[in-house]
């Protein structure tokens, strides 16, 4: 079943990208990213309850507090990622966000030394970095007339700004820090308990976001607009579950991770089909480099 779980994770996480983009792109709702946090908090809270009361997963305040720094890094990175979706195409944002795996390798080089990192990982990291930097340069230097022409079909207009590229980069940095810290903390915690602690922390964050957005700022939750956010939240949670089950088959971990690592490519495909996003060949060349590097890094992420 490892193959099917890998495919499910790939589809779910790319679906999460798509639905999160749809849910967060409303230009007249400055709290759309926080409403996305509310949606994810609700879905993850429900799953945490299932794990505790049906699955029998052990959880305690000590586990929650121990895992809290990691949880906060992940949650803040996701909130920033949701905010960034308002300012840039998903086709560009997703590959940049997923370059966090390369940043983790760089962190390992500085802390563990060269002996802990395979040459292929270093080469893949260089490819991801070149592709990510190149993608930013192509986006920043693109002619305004060409930009307007290619964005016309999708009926969306994105202006050049530091936020457009800066927010996905900040996401990647925070997510990489979370991943790096995760590996250390999980040496002392059960993975299922840590995941439930993360979901409960996300639930608490979602409740705080609800109090701020709905009760304090008086911003309405419109069902028609919230639907995509909850679909994205379900996909995010489902992808995490499928990822865990796929990696449970230790004999095929490298193959599983290489399949799942390509989900940002599928996100680009969904962007082309459903969001009508059109990029230049230079954009797609850089995206291809990032995707190849991420897949190679995924194979070594075992």
Cβ atoms of residues 25 and 156 within 8 Å: yes
Query: What is the pTM (predicted TM-score) of this model?
Result: 0.89
pLDDT over 70 at 254, yes or no:
no
- Number of Cβ within 10 Å of residue 42's Cβ equals 18
Q: How does DSSP classify residue 252?
A: G
Domain boundaries, the chain: 2-300
pLDDT digits (tens, 9 = 90+) for 228-240: 999 999 999 999 8
Q: pLDDT band for 157, please (50, 70, 90 cuts).
A: confident
Q: Which two tokens stand for residue 192?
A: 């299922």
The pLDDT of residue 154 is: 64
Give the Cα separation of 300 and 298 in Å (integer): 5
Tell me which range, 127-131, 166-170, 203-207, 246-250, is most confidently predicted by mean pLDDT: 203-207
* Residue 198 pLDDT greater than 80, yes or no: yes
Give me the mean pLDDT over the 174-179 stretch. 91
301 pLDDT above the threshold of 70 = no
pLDDT at residue 261 in the model? 79
Which pLDDT tens digit goes with each residue over 31-42? 999 999 999 999
pLDDT recorded at residue 137: 87
pLDDT of 106 reads 81
Centre a 10 Å sphere on the Cβ of residue 144 and count the other Cβ atoms it contains: 9
Separation of alpha carbons 301 and 105, rounded Å: 10
Closest CA to 89 of 35, 148, 21: 21
- Residue 211 gets which letter from DSSP? I
Tokens of 18: 């798509």
Asked if 174 contacts 73 with a C-beta cutoff of 8 angstroms, the reply is yes
69-119 pLDDT per residue, tens: 999 999 999 999 999 998 889 999 999 998 887 888 788 777 765 566 778
Cα 235 to its chain centre, rounded Å, is 11
């Amino acid at each position: 079943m490892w193959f099917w779980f890998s495919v499910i994770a790939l589809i779910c996480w790319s679906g999460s990208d798509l639905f999160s983009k749809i849910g967060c792109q409303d230009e007249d709702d400055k709290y759309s990213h926080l409403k996305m946090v509310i949606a994810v908090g609700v879905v993850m809270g429900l799953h945490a309850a299932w794990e505790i009361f049906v699955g029998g997963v052990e959880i305690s305040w000590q586990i929650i507090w121990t895992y809290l720094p990691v949880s906060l890094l992940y949650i803040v990175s996701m909130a920033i990622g949701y905010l960034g979706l308002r300012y840039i195409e998903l086709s560009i944002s997703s590959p940049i966000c997923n370059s966090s795996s390369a940043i983790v390798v760089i962190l390992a080089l500085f802390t563990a030394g060269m002996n802990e990192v395979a040459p292929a990982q270093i080469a893949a990291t260089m490819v991801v970095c070149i592709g990510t930097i190149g993608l930013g340069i192509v986006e920043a230097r693109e002619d305004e007339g060409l930009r307007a022409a290619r964005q016309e079909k999708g009926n969306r207009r994105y202006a050049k700004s530091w936020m457009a590229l800066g927010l996905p980069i900040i996401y990647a940095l925070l997510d990489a820090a979370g991943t790096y810290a995760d590996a250390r903390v999980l040496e002392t915690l059960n993975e299922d308990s840590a995941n439930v602690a993360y979901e409960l922390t996300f639930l608490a964050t979602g409740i705080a976001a609800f109090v701020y957005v709905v009760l304090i700022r008086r911003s309405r939750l419109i069902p028609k607009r919230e639907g995509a956010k909850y679909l994205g939240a379900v996909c995010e949670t489902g992808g995490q579950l499928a990822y865990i089950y796929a990696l449970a088959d230790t004999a095929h971990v490298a193959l599983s991770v290489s399949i799942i690592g390509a989900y940002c490519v599928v996100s680009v495909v969904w962007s082309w089909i459903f969001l009508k996003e059109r990029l230049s060949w230079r954009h797609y060349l850089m995206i291809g480099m990032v995707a190849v590097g991420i897949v190679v890094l995924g194979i070594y992420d075992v």
